[in-house]
Structure 1
Amino acid sequence: MRRVVVDPEIPAEAANLFRHNGPRLSQIRAGWSPEARPSAPRRSSRFLQVCGAISALFLVFLVFAGNVSQIFLFVPTLLIFVACVGVLAARDPLEIEMTERDLYEQGHLYEGRYLLPEDFDHDADLLLDRVQQAVDFILRSRVNALGLLDDVRNAVMLPTQEWEIARLLTKLSALRTEHHDFTYGGSTPEVVAAMAPLERALIASETAVTARVEALERYASHVSEADRALHAHDQIEQLRARLPRYEELLAESGADTFAVPEIGRLSEDAGHLEQALRDSVRSAHEAFRHLDGPPS
């Protein structure tokens, strides 16, 4: 299921709550409320009553079976077990209920500042998936984690980009649905002519949003190239660290005159990869600046 898109301006605790409870948020929007659930203490009380009845029956069985000596060993263990299970049973549903109540309250408090999967039509959903994949890849990349990119700005700007694009996609989805419903069943030539500019507006808006998605994907592509260059550079550096052992072996075996030039190319490869890494990071920075749009 597509993750909930949250306005980056709302508190992090509420945002994380929304992202981890998308299906329940959809139910809340449809009219569900936590008051409709039976209370957790009542369910826990019934559970403890059942456990107590089972324990009493088992105790009677031991008495009639004549195993009195085992009672003093078994009963305390059984009671401790039942008590522990009862505490867990009483706590977990209560925690779930408290989370759902908090979700219900926060969902109403921040209504309109989070977007659910049902807010997007099929085409918008596909674009949103591309946005989220690009954002996730950039934030999880090694070059970003190592600070070779503007990692602090990425952490702020990329969620903002995701939110702004998602918000535009929901508006586009709603207008497309209204447009389709209005024209469903046929329209007169006059109405078709009147709606033509509206159709062109929808197409132009979709083209503009798609361009923003593609810009984000280009940035992710440059980050991917930088990640590959960094990985290759690290591997070459590991090989360079082993050079003295190879050179020692060649010298001892008398083959150094033949093989040293070949091994020497390793240093050249490392230099080329270092330059490739710098170029990739520079390209990523340029793509990053492009996301901000033209200067005002």
Structure 2
Amino acid sequence: MLSRFRAGWAPGSSSGAPRTPLRVLQVCGALSALVLIFLLFMGDIAPIFLVPTLLVFVGCVGFFAARDPLELEVTEHDLYQQARWYEGRYLLPEDFDHDAGLLLDRVQQAIDFILRSRVNALGMLDDVRNSVMLPAQEWEIARLLTKLSALRTEHHDFMYGGSSPEVAAAMAPLERALAASEAAVVARVEALERYAGHVSEADRALRAHDQIEQLRARLPRYEELLAETGADTFAVPEISRLSEDADHLEQALRDSVRSAQEAFRHLDGPPAP
């Protein structure tokens, strides 16, 4: 629908006299039907008049409902108003060529994974900055990709019919500019993916840490069993290493979160002079 709006199509206006909402008519119809049935059972209305009365009522409801705009038309009109209001602040799939669309998919997958990660939900990362800056990164990369797509399309169309050596030589710097711009955008996408990779590692360390902690909570029962069976001399050292493993995983988790935070700071770019 947004594509149709951009092409110049607009929904019909809903001018005219005020119209009765269709849902109000439906509610009134249901209540009237209940009243008629109640009167029929109470004997205040003859059964012979029930069917004609209902038919007249249904006809009236149909007449007013036909005059009401369809819900789809209302939705189209509202969407059209929103599209005009937010013009320039949204992008459509046709704004991206094939390569740009693939890069945008990578960006969205990385951001979705980061925002849905456990370490982010638990506040172990900078979840406030994530919720603000990652969507801003997505929009900025998408905006650059649309510009890149448009220039690539123009360049391809210009070169499609062939060109002389002089024109090809003049176009060479522009091609290099396109390639350099694409490489810069790809570098930003890869930075996001590296951040997502660090978050994934932190999530893995968090899961392993939680599992080890659950096992460590069961240690007293195992130690009691070993003591009662007289096998504690041989097995206790082995089980005690579980606590050491938990400590190592705790450190690994802290290192993973720290690496993810460093990767996030890299997304900010170089500090301003």
Give me the TM-score of the superposition, normalised by structure 2.
0.80
Query: 2:128 corresponds to which letter in structure 1?
Result: V
Partner secondary structure for residue 34 of structure 1: coil
User: Is the aligned partner of 1:31 residue 2:24?
Assistant: no
Query: 2:75 corresponds to which letter in structure 1?
Result: T
Partner secondary structure for residue 8 of structure 2: coil
- What is the aligned partner in structure 2 of residue 140 from structure 1? 116
Q: Number of residues paired by the alignment? A: 246
Partner secondary structure for residue 271 of structure 2: coil
Q: Deviations over 1:87-127 (max 9, x none)?
A: xx99xx85544333221111111111111110000000010
Partner secondary structure for residue 12 of structure 2: helix
Query: 2:86 corresponds to which letter in structure 1?
Result: Y
Residue 101 of structure 2, aligned match among 105, 125, 144: 125
Query: 1:190 corresponds to which letter in structure 2?
Result: E
Stretches of structure 1 that go unaligned for 5 or more consecutive residues are 1-23, 52-70
- For the pair shown, the structure with the greater C-alpha radius of gyration is 2
Partner secondary structure for residue 35 of structure 1: coil
Where do residues 1-296 of structure 1 align in structure 2 (5 Å cutoff)? 24-35=1-12, 94-296=70-272
Partner secondary structure for residue 161 of structure 1: helix
Q: Deviations over 1:46-80 (max 9, x none)?
A: xx9xx9xxxxxxxxxxxxxxxxxxx79x98xx99x
**RMSD, aligned CA:** 3.5
Give me the TM-score of the superposition, normalised by structure 1.
0.74
Partner secondary structure for residue 114 of structure 1: coil
Query: 1:104 corresponds to which letter in structure 2?
Result: Y
Q: Percent same amino acid at aligned positions? A: 82
Q: Residues 95, 145 of structure 1: CA spacing in aligned structure 2 closer, same or farther, 3 A cutoff?
A: farther
CA deviation after TM superposition for structure 1 residue 133, in Å: 0.4
Query: 1:138 corresponds to which letter in structure 2?
Result: I
Q: Residues 95, 244 of structure 1: CA spacing in aligned structure 2 closer, same or farther, 3 A cutoff?
A: farther
Cα distance in structure 2, aligned partners of 1:240 and 1:233:
10
Stretches of structure 2 that go unaligned for 5 or more consecutive residues are 30-46
Q: Deviations over 1:256-282 (max 9, x none)?
A: 111111111110110111000000000
Cα distance in structure 2, aligned partners of 1:294 and 1:31:
43
Cα distance in structure 2, aligned partners of 1:192 and 1:224:
46
Query: 1:204 corresponds to which letter in structure 2?
Result: A
CA deviation after TM superposition for structure 1 residue 244, in Å: 1.1
Q: Residues 248, 111 of structure 1: CA spacing in aligned structure 2 closer, same or farther, 3 A cutoff?
A: same
